[in-house]
Amino acid sequence: MKRTLSLCILFPLFVSLNAQVTVDTSLLKERLAEIFLGEGVSIFNVRVHGNASSLGYFTAKNTNFPMEEGIVLSTGRASAIEGQNISPKRSSSMKEGMGSDPDLARMVSRQVFNTTVIEFDFIPMFDSLYFDYVFASEEYPEYVGSAYNDVFCLLIKGPNFRSPLNLARVGKPSSTVMINSVNHRKNKEYFIPNYTFKASEEIPFTVEFDGFTTLLTASCRVTRGKVHHLKIAIGNVNDFSYDSGVFLRAGSFGSKGGNKQHSLPFDFDERQPEEGYDRLLDSIAGLMKANPSWKMAVLGHTDSLGSKEYNLKLSQERAQSVANELIRRGVGTNRIFVKGFGDTKPLRSNGSEEGRQKNRRVEIIIREQERL
């Protein structure tokens, strides 16, 4: 077991009661996969290994944590990450020595304990895969450079890969994301410390972990229409103490490629796009008429202000208004798929007006039908 080190934590004088990370561990594995799922990919054969309390759905809205919602895997109880950072050495594993994983053990050539795994098969519609994640740990900063190098993997298998590939890599030259490769000393541009606070009116990082990465994106080339497999796993290295976790952003697991994409911004609560986009719509309509086999998706989005029901209706109305403009310009209705997503797929944090402005949009995705 580790030797205990002490850190002095200065608690903030101001804490927003509405700015809290919350975790729900009651959802079924299929529902968790649906939360992770984005566009252009289908998921099936979902499997989970480890304690059910170590995997759940989280929300971090109105905080400055790098993502607002998604699923989280932890080496301890997922509920222990909620709220302020009140302990520099949180350990909430259910049983010492519970569960190892051969892939994680090979990565560090050491014993691995308290593993949590979610894995599934998927079929991408296009030739690229991408999703967003954050790695976090209580091992920061005391055990940076030590043997207690908690580890996780984003392991993909498929037709493109002779052997499984770990997508959790960062920096140049690239390093596998773990305690000893991303911290306050190495690849520090990707690291956010959370182990000391100063009295401030700014909203703090309302999560228990002592440090975490910036929002990172995993991506790779895939073979469209073929079955692939993704395994996401995390574990404690060399002992059973000090929780670590990996956060996966809701709606970010998707596939793109073989398409052309445009985005139209919207003012607050408006159903029509901002002025000045007639020429773009003319160009898109002309492109579609010149390529009669192509189809398109018109997808509406909102910021997080307002109720879920209102935003879903607003996003659908935005998407339909853009579709109507394209129909008026001669694009057949049978070639346009229209859907509103409400506030479920933000591009930026909704914590600022700048972020909300980015999220108020309609995306137009043109797909070459012969490549689907």
Q: For tokens 């052309």, what's the residue?
A: 260
- Examine residue 4 and state whether it is found in any structural domain, yes or no: no
Residue 342 sits in the same domain as residue 244: no
- Examine residue 318 and state whether it is found in any structural domain, yes or no: yes
Residue 240 structural domain: 22-255
Residue 229 sits in the same domain as residue 148: yes
| Cα 337 to Cα 89: distance, rounded to the nearest angstrom | 50
| Cα 349 to Cα 19: distance, rounded to the nearest angstrom | 13
Residue 273 sits in the same domain as residue 287: yes
Q: How many CB atoms lie within 10 A of CB 365?
A: 18
Stronger pLDDT, 197 or 118, i.e. the higher one? 118
Residue 173 sits in the same domain as residue 250: yes
Domain count, the chain: 2
- The answer to whether 335 and 294 have CB atoms below 8 angstroms apart is yes
pLDDT at 196: 61
pLDDT at 90: 53
Instruction: Fill in the amino acid letter for 161.
Output: F
pLDDT at 171: 80
Q: Which of 240, 255, 270 is the last residue of a domain?
A: 255
pLDDT at 15: 39
Q: pLDDT tens, 277-305?
A: 887 888 788 878 877 888 899 999 999 99
Residue 115 sits in the same domain as residue 207: yes
Q: Is the pLDDT of residue 232 over 50?
A: yes
Backbone angles phi, psi at 52, to 5 degrees: -60, -25
pLDDT at 76: 87
Size (the chain), residues: 372
Which pair of tokens denotes residue 229?
Answer: 């497999």
Spatial CA neighbour of 182 closest among 149, 205, 208: 149
- Examine residue 60 and state whether it is found in any structural domain, yes or no: yes
Instruction: DSSP letter for 174, please.
Output: T
Looking at residue 277, which CATH number applies to its domain?
Answer: 3.30.1330.60
Residue 128 sits in the same domain as residue 37: yes
- Examine residue 189 and state whether it is found in any structural domain, yes or no: yes
Q: Is the pLDDT of residue 172 over 60?
A: yes
Q: What is the pTM of this model?
A: 0.65
Residue 304 sits in the same domain as residue 178: no
Q: Is the pLDDT of residue 312 over 90?
A: yes
pLDDT at 342: 95
| Cα 294 to Cα 274: distance, rounded to the nearest angstrom | 26
Query: Cα torsion at 41, 31, 300, 267 (round to 10°)?
Result: -130
Q: Which of 232, 255, 278 is the last residue of a domain?
A: 255
pLDDT at 95: 54
- Examine residue 65 and state whether it is found in any structural domain, yes or no: yes
Residue 221 sits in the same domain as residue 237: yes
Residue 310 sits in the same domain as residue 206: no
- Examine residue 17 and state whether it is found in any structural domain, yes or no: no
Indicate if the alpha-carbon torsion angle 342, 347, 349, 353 is positive or negative. negative
Q: Which of 196, 221, 255 is the last residue of a domain?
A: 255
- Examine residue 168 and state whether it is found in any structural domain, yes or no: yes
Count Cβ atoms within 10 A of the Cβ of residue 161 and give its class: 0-12 exposed, 13-18 middle, 19 or more buried.
middle
| Cα 358 to Cα 303: distance, rounded to the nearest angstrom | 8
Residue 276 sits in the same domain as residue 242: no
Q: Is the pLDDT of residue 6 over 50?
A: no
The radius of gyration of the chain's CA atoms, rounded to the nearest angstrom, is 22
Instruction: DSSP letter for 210, please.
Output: S
- Examine residue 10 and state whether it is found in any structural domain, yes or no: no
Picking from 86-90, 111-115, 288-292, which range would have the lowest pLDDT averaged per residue?
86-90
pLDDT at 209: 87
Residue 218 sits in the same domain as residue 297: no
Q: Is the pLDDT of residue 25 over 50?
A: yes
Residue 248 sits in the same domain as residue 279: no
Highest mean pLDDT among 8-22, 144-158, 251-265: 144-158
Spatial CA neighbour of 302 closest among 255, 259, 246, 348: 348
Picking from 87-101, 109-123, 189-203, 211-225, which range would have the lowest pLDDT averaged per residue?
87-101
The residues, ordered by sequence, that sit 6+ positions from 342 with a Cβ below 8 Å of its Cβ are 301, 302, 308, 311, 312, 314, 315
pLDDT at 202: 46
Q: Is the pLDDT of residue 198 over 70?
A: no
pLDDT at 327: 96
Stronger pLDDT, 231 or 203, i.e. the higher one? 231
Indicate if the alpha-carbon torsion angle 344, 201, 204, 91 is positive or negative. negative
- The answer to whether 334 and 328 have CB atoms below 8 angstroms apart is no
Which helix H or strand E contains 234, and what residues bound it? strand 228-237
| Cα 86 to Cα 96: distance, rounded to the nearest angstrom | 23
The residues, ordered by sequence, that sit 6+ positions from 359 with a Cβ below 8 Å of its Cβ are 301, 302, 303, 304, 343, 346, 347, 348, 350
Q: Is the pLDDT of residue 226 over 80?
A: yes
